[in-house]
Amino acid sequence: MAHTHCQTTSGHNLLHAQHNTPRHAGAIHHFGKNLQNGINQIFDQFADALAKRAQRRALMRLSESELSDIGLSRSDAEAEYRKSFPL
């Protein structure tokens, strides 16, 4: 670790330790973490959307009596299914 001498406005000499990493390395690391978190959020949202779509498709495969058992009509199931994005 290198050291430098700095003089304060009052004339005192201070010894400062300098790290071998550039000052912007912390900012780059922070940016990388933010980018990684953003990408993870996008993939999580996409996975959630796919899971919801699969559940809506499963709802459409239920018979009239099965839908009735859970308190839904065929038109309720179709309205929920239409909320899915097409894939």
Tens-place pLDDT, residues 20-78? 555 667 777 788 889 999 999 999 999 999 999 999 999 999 999 999 999 999 999 99
Looking at residue 20, its pLDDT comes to: 54
Q: What is the pLDDT of residue 5?
A: 52
Which residue do the tokens 């990408």 mark? 39
Q: Where are the beta strands (DSSP E) in 1-87?
A: 2-7, 13-18
pTM to 2 decimal places: 0.57
Q: Pull the structure tokens for residue 51.
A: 């899971």
